[in-house]
Amino acid sequence: MRAIGFVGSPRENGNTAALVRQILAGAASSGADTRVFFLNNLNIRGCQACMYCKSHDGCRQQDDMLQLIEEIKKADRLVIGSPIYIGNITGQTKVFLDRFYVFGTGPNLPSKMPAGKKAALAFSQGNPFENAFSPYVEPISRFLGMLGVETTGSLFAAGVPKAEDDNVLMQKAFQIGVDLVK
């Protein structure tokens, strides 16, 4: 079992990173081999809508997303985390998810995503109302579902100054990781 996490925050020690790491810790406690990637540290260009991936295996762009595509193919479980900036996921996370187009979406395009994958989602936000921005992140779960990836859990850290200090939140994140591996 291999679980990989993607942190879409520029802060490697911020709340989103803490949540993704804790979800991966829960997955590791259930026997998963884990690894985390910080999207802000990678060279990932936006999708160019060139359609190369629709008639070839992979993406034409020569950037760090090529490595992530291979990692995603090999992984059994995915953890995607982003802070909410200006009411939505970060630009880093959006560019990363846009590049999932390589896995095939749209009418008459079967998914190239290997079957059986599951995902967990984690978001942090300054707004104290947990559901304040959920309408903006729910499409991520639907999009993953179109690719055949089942979202097994999601978590919002709403108005939490420091996620690592919130024992209840960290226990929830850990349990999401345990459940992700089941």
pTM for the structure as a whole: 0.96
Instruction: Specify if 154 maps to a domain.
Output: yes
Name residue 2's amino acid. Answer: R
| pLDDT at site 169 | 97
The rounded distance, in Å, linking the Cα atoms of 19 and 164 is 8
Using 70 as the pLDDT threshold, list the residues of the chain that sit under it. Answer: 105-108
Instruction: Specify if 2 maps to a domain.
Output: no
Instruction: Specify if 75 maps to a domain.
Output: yes
Instruction: Specify if 10 maps to a domain.
Output: no
Instruction: Specify if 113 maps to a domain.
Output: yes
| pLDDT at site 55 | 85
Structure tokens at 168: 């209840």
| pLDDT at site 106 | 62
| pLDDT at site 109 | 72
Contacts of 132 (CB under 8 A, 6+ apart): 125, 158
Instruction: Specify if 134 maps to a domain.
Output: yes
| pLDDT at site 107 | 66
How many structural domains are present in the chain?
A: 1
Q: What is the domain range of residue 80?
A: 27-181
Instruction: Specify if 137 maps to a domain.
Output: yes
The rounded distance, in Å, linking the Cα atoms of 99 and 121 is 17
The rounded distance, in Å, linking the Cα atoms of 64 and 69 is 9
- How many CA atoms lie within 13 Å of 148's alpha carbon, on the beta-carbon side? 14
Instruction: Specify if 20 maps to a domain.
Output: no
How does pLDDT run across 111-142, given as a tens digit for each residue?
899 999 999 999 999 999 988 888 888 899 99
- The CATH number assigned to the domain holding 79 equals 3.40.50.360
